[in-house]
Structure 1
Amino acid sequence: MPTLPREQPEPVPLHQARQMAESFGTDAQRYDQARPGYPDDLVARIVAGSPETGGLDVPDVPDVPDVRDVLDVLDVGCGTGIAARQFQAAGCTVLGVEPDARMADFARVRGLAVEVATFEAWEPGGRTFDAVTAAQSWHWVDPIAGAVKAAQVLRPNGRLAIFGHVYEPPVEVAEPFAAAYQRVVPDSPFGGGSAQRPLEMYQAAYAKVADRIRETGRFDDPEQSRFDWERSYTRDQWLDLLPTTGGLTRLGPDQLAEILGEVGRAIDALGGRFTMRYTTLAVIAVRATTPL
């Protein structure tokens, strides 16, 4: 859920930290190329349970384009459209909402319709959707106001699906990064503490997301799920991804170079590549037919 595995709680809620929330478009092309996509099984689960598919048991994305071509998805905080393109590939019609105009422009070039706004301020204009998704972005949205608005634009039995990655490089990479970051940016709320954080911390954060959804009384009981997978990174691939993470998007070139140099040397010591273990966590909630 957070954009850096070792983020510390901030004095201001993340959805109010607009400068950071809108800093990812600094290099939209790098962001789009470096950031990973989402498990196909998760995309299939969201699509299969949405109203237009009738709750069909869909085994995988490529096999069912015929039931998906009428599914309308609203992607909140769509960024460059990484998740949105996966839903498009599954046969969905997708509209993105994105506060950063630079990210929105990039997504449009890649074939996604995008409207520039925060989700809270976005005007639906009477439009409704079968699913509202938020991929690695819900922490930038007011959790109560966002859930209420999602319920307002969802069709009967529509789904709100909030999901994101939890990932930690091996300790041989994480510790040099943490040490370099704290040295270069000693006053940052992202520095300090352990270089490694337990998965349970992020599972607890997603449990809180589910609690906020319940508080609105607009959804059936949310379900939580996880998807475990791995990806191998070369030195260059990881150094391309790191500058797209929240703690680094606003650093100066010299600061960034110093941190990346330390991390690069650590990866070189591992033979120039490493395997990242990812867990993608999700909260999915069906809009209640009658408000609870």
Structure 2
Amino acid sequence: MPTLPPARACLSENEPHQYRQAAESFGSDAERYDRTRPRYPDAMVDRIVAGSPGFDVLDVGCGTGIAARQFQAAGCKVLGVEPDARMAGPARQLGVEVDVATFEAWDPAGREFDAVVAGQAWHWIDPVAGATKAAQVLRPGGRLAAFWNVFQLPTDVAEAFAAVYRRVMPDSPFSLQAMTKQALDGYSVLFTRAADGIREVGGFSDPEQWRFDWEWSYTRDAWLDQMPTLGNLTQLPSDKLAEVLEGVGAAIDAMGGSFTMRYATVAVAAARTGAA
């Protein structure tokens, strides 16, 4: 789901990773985040594992360990790096080893990995510093892969949701255009920044972009349960959040109580080729 800062439209001169308040807001309800956030396509996990020289994986910005557990299920040994101890707690409880630190400041202590991955997190990291650190810890042929789930609401659902946002949050950038398939256009900035950072650092193959399309059906309750974890809502005052949830819930009821979300999971990936 989208984890862009709510003021994304105003950040054209700044990198998202500088917006630390938003980056560190998701731990306010870590258990809900882990329970409701979508997972990643198994085909993508398998492709990353198959393209790596081994099974030691570093999960950057691992949060509650959603992606980490998928890589563990694929046979990998995973270490997470997560700046928010509130998010790291559930990850550890669910079997993921986690170092609490920002990736830029994290000390690898001589450890090396076959893959460095980041699910829904690389935009919170300086793209050059992040690629530099990844190059330092990857074994030859190791894979760096940053990936995002991008939602693409059906037009009628997007129109209903956007009307609620305009009424309750008139300054929100989540317009009808942002809620439909044009959401990929907004995320393309993140894909480009990730790829440019990798190229600037050197020592990697030219970045590739992979896309995996899939769908998920949401009941009214399931969607409302996830909404408080979205980046544009995590810092919303409780009364405004309640108003948004009420309006969106009514819109879903009017549609019959459920809807189908189309997702595009996009990965920016490159292999470690030499010294940076």
The TM-score by the shorter chain falls in which range? over 0.9
Map Cα deviations across residues 48-80 of structure 1 (whole Å, 9 max, x no partner): 11112xxxxxxxxxxxxxxxxxx1100000000
TM-score, structure 2 normalization = 0.92
Change in 2 beyond 3 A, CA 1:5/1:104: closer
Matched residue, 2:3? 3
Q: Which moved more, 1:224-233 or 1:204-213?
A: 204-213
CA contact (8 A) 2:158 2:176 kept: no
Match of 1:51, SS state, is coil
Matched residue, 2:123? 139
Amino acid at match of 1:116: V
CA contact (8 A) 1:5 1:197 kept: no
Pair 1:119 & 2:121 matched: no
Amino acid at match of 2:159: E
Decide which of 75, 78, 86 is 1:91's aligned counterpart: 75
Matched residue, 1:232? 217
Equivalent residues in 2 for 1:206-285 (5 A)? 206-285=191-270
Matched residue, 1:171? 155
Change in 2 beyond 3 A, CA 1:205/1:16: closer
Change in 2 beyond 3 A, CA 1:197/1:278: closer
Matched residue, 2:167? 183
CA distance in 2, matches of 1:166, 1:43: 17
CA distance in 2, matches of 1:139, 1:115: 19
Matched residue, 1:19? 21
Q: How many matched pairs?
A: 272
- What do you get for the CA RMSD once the two structures are aligned? 2.0
CA distance in 1, matches of 2:239, 2:255: 25
Q: Which moved more, 1:81-90 or 1:252-261?
A: 252-261
TM-score, structure 1 normalization = 0.87
Q: What displacement does 1:6 show?
A: 8.7
Q: What displacement does 1:270 show?
A: 1.0
Unmatched 5+ residue regions in structure 2?
A: none
Change in 2 beyond 3 A, CA 1:102/1:108: same
Map Cα deviations across residues 163-219 of structure 1 (whole Å, 9 max, x no partner): 11111222333233333333333445x355734351344345413421221111121
CA contact (8 A) 2:5 2:23 kept: no
CA distance in 2, matches of 1:186, 1:204: 24
Q: After the TM superposition, which parts of structure 1 deviate over 6 Å for at least 4 consecutive aligned residues? A: none
Matched residue, 1:82? 66
